[in-house]
Amino acid sequence: MTLTLALVQILNGLQFGLILFLIAAGLTLVFGVMDFINLAHGVQYMVGAYLVAAFTTMTGSFVAGLALALPAALLFGLLLEVLIFRHLYDRDHLDQVLATFGVIIFLNQAVKYVWGAAPLNVAIPDALSGAIEITDGMLYPVWRLVIIAAGLAVGLALYLVVNKTKLGMLVRAGASNAAMVSALGVNIRLLFTIVFGVGAMLAGFAGAMVAPILSVEPGMGDNVLILAFVVIVIGGIGSIRGAFIAALLIGLVDTLGRFFAPTLLKLLLDPSAASQTGRAIAPMLIYILMAAVLFFRPSGLFPSKQ
């Protein structure tokens, strides 16, 4: 029984990690290739969730809603890039932080204005809404397995694009030395725009996939943004591979920490205190992990800049 529970918790950690990966993948490329700090990345995750909620209500089907939401998230990302972010690439990091923070506030209010402050509901397609029984009494929601599969598929696709195509080669080159790539005659601005659009779409995809599990509400992207930054710092800025491994690491450490910390503390403290402290300690573990990684490898696990 305990072994099954531990396995189920590993599955939970994996699923959480893959969602983080979808968000962090775009962030790490934007940061790595363009040296641009985009705090508004979390908002794109929120926009993805709202778009899928709106289109699902409109079409009556989640699949159709998702199919419409992805291009819309891409367009929205490109729009932001052209209107706002493009003008910030040459400014210093503090200006970028200020401006993109402003975008967060603006968009959080904007979705509230359009859709209201109440959380929205997105229904899971009927075929995927149940739970499968792993062992006696232990059920696992099918939708979370779908998220795991989708996350792995996107990870594989990104790996192939970044490592096996010309575009991917340019992205990798841009991440290690953007000025040199530009000097060799590559239209770096266009490359930036593509990377930005894809990054925004991936964050939107993550938002769309969690929309049926989590409530779609203003400000939902603010919390995940911090975790996404932790992921890219641990993984090494600009590295997709680093983001993938760091995201899974964080997902597992966070979930298993919440599970094991109270159990282990019960050996030392009384049950009520153990339950309380255990769950309070668990969220700290990822930051301890980050500190440890930075101590031993200051530029992350897989740095893309040499």
Positions touching other proteins (CB under 8 A) are 1-2, 4-5, 8-9, 12, 15-16, 112, 117-121, 123-124, 129-131, 133, 137-141, 143-144, 212-217, 219-220, 223, 255, 258-259, 271-272, 275-276, 279-280, 283
Between 90 and 270, whose beta carbon lies closer to other proteins?
270
Between 172 and 258, whose beta carbon lies closer to other proteins?
258
Between 60 and 130, whose beta carbon lies closer to other proteins?
130
Q: Which two tokens stand for residue 156?
A: 């594989």
**Minimum distance, C-beta of residue 124 to other proteins, in the bound complex (Å):** 7
Between 235 and 278, whose beta carbon lies closer to other proteins?
278
**Residues 211, 130 contacting (CB under 8 angstroms):** no
Report how far residue 1's alpha carbon sits from residue 284's, in angstroms, rounded to the nearest whole number.
Answer: 28
Between 89 and 115, whose beta carbon lies closer to other proteins?
115
Matching residue, tokens 């530009």: 182
Q: Where are the strands (E) in 14-151, listed by range?
A: 131-135, 138-141
For every residue of 211-233, DSSP letters joined together read: TTTS-B-TTHHHHHHHHHHHHHH
Between 8 and 68, whose beta carbon lies closer to other proteins?
8
**Minimum distance, C-beta of residue 81 to other proteins, in the bound complex (Å):** 28
* Tally of CA atoms within 13 A in the half-sphere of 26 that contains its CB: 31
Q: Which two tokens stand for residue 124?
A: 């899971």
Report how far residue 200's alpha carbon sits from residue 25's, in angstroms, rounded to the nearest whole number.
Answer: 10
Between 92 and 126, whose beta carbon lies closer to other proteins?
126
Between 6 and 180, whose beta carbon lies closer to other proteins?
6
**Residues 62, 216 contacting (CB under 8 angstroms):** no
C-alpha pair distances (Å), 22 with each of 114, 128, 146, 268, 304: 26, 21, 14, 38, 19
**Residues 285, 256 contacting (CB under 8 angstroms):** no
**Minimum distance, C-beta of residue 272 to other proteins, in the bound complex (Å):** 5
**Minimum distance, C-beta of residue 259 to other proteins, in the bound complex (Å):** 6
**Minimum distance, C-beta of residue 243 to other proteins, in the bound complex (Å):** 20
**Minimum distance, C-beta of residue 37 to other proteins, in the bound complex (Å):** 23
**Minimum distance, C-beta of residue 123 to other proteins, in the bound complex (Å):** 8
The radius of gyration of the chain's CA atoms, rounded to the nearest angstrom, is 20
**Minimum distance, C-beta of residue 230 to other proteins, in the bound complex (Å):** 16
Please provide the distance, in angstroms rounded to a whole number, between the alpha carbons at the two ends of the chain. Answer: 48
CA dihedral over 75, 201, 203, 85, signed as positive or negative: negative
Report how far residue 255's alpha carbon sits from residue 241's, in angstroms, rounded to the nearest whole number.
Answer: 21
